[in-house]
Chain A
């Protein structure tokens, strides 16, 4: 963890950015304070802004502090690990922001005597943190693919637009789970769909990880298991899309 810790020190301002976005999301409509389920959804849904920001920040740090001119002077493995350490640092900062959001939201819910709703343990509280994994990796991937300053706003906009595209086409919600606009009293998130979205986000992260490795390493992967990881990740993404299309319901009546 020494690598990510060093990058977290040099990007100390990233959690400040994430905290501002979390605060803006929580203050946008305080009606969530009535329900624990709604609060958890809103904190996870803050990734609609935090995921694009984390992707763009990862791209920015890779472009500025870990560019090709630096990577080419290192052994392929070290060059790859540096990119992943930057993404990990951003993921830790964003995840910490989500945890702080849970604490703040939990205090508000406790003081308001919110009804418990039906939080889908343990997947639902983790869905935002898992959705951040492909987000930071796509930032690193974009930065090693296209070393240009235009990459920063492009990644920001692209990850921001994935959510409405997935929503409109009934795809798994990659990069950011959705926020309900009303109190879903008597309902709970559908477990199978939640699981498929977990699998889809992890598969997407696997694909991005392998692509970063292939680009940074600049040679054929020496080990078969990188290819196996790519195939397995693509399989997970395909399964996730198929699973969500087979059971598109997001909410089911609470048990």
Chain B
């Protein structure tokens, strides 16, 4: 009873249902070709998922009553759970880039970008609330269009023939550390700018 109320008030249901749907698409249709306007290379459904699922999951991070929620019982626990729901829903985009694809430069690049977009999404939404969701979606679309141009800046050579060069591990490690830092900092931010 209380659980149903909590789920409704925290807005967990819609993102979790979305995550289940995304999981099915991600597991079976990640390689479907999906051309993006203006994109500087071929795009597949997995690129759409990596770029945009974080912004769809970000709704759970918005604090709808920032001025009173800090005084609510169990708020700290629920906020931690919000972050967990966010990361789990965002992770539903991952199956398309894991497995054999993760052993390629392009697959590894997608995993790193997913980590970066999800981590930055935490800060965006915690600091800017609904504008943060927009910023997160904007970043995802911009990556979708200009991803090939950005890849060398992050240390990925998408043009390299498979197996010829070792996969870069430093960007992955950096992205994991950034994701942990953003999540920990995001948990400490108590409301969007202007609410205090």
Contacts and interface: CB of A to CB of B under 8 A. Distances in A.
Interface of A: 17, 21, 24-25, 28, 45, 48-49, 52-53, 56-57, 60, 63-64, 148-150, 152-154, 156-157, 160, 163-164, 167, 176, 179
A150 B56 contact: yes
The B interface, classified by DSSP as helix, strand, loop or mixed, is: helix
Interface of B: 11, 14-15, 18, 35-38, 40, 48, 52, 55-56, 58-59, 62, 130-131, 133-134, 136-138, 140-142, 145-146, 149
B56 A153 contact: yes
Contacts of B48: 157
A153 B137 contact: yes
A149 B55 CA distance: 10
A51 to B, nearest CB: 10
The A interface, classified by DSSP as helix, strand, loop or mixed, is: helix
A164 B141 contact: no
A48 B38 contact: yes
A152 B137 contact: yes
Given A28-B146, A149-B133, A157 B52 contact: yes
Contacts of B11: 149
B62 A149 contact: yes
Contact of A152 (B35, B36, B133, B146): B133
A212 to B, nearest CB: 20
Contact of A148 (B14, B38, B134, B149): B14
A23 B2 CA distance: 50
B141 A49 contact: yes
Contacts of A60: 130-131, 133-134
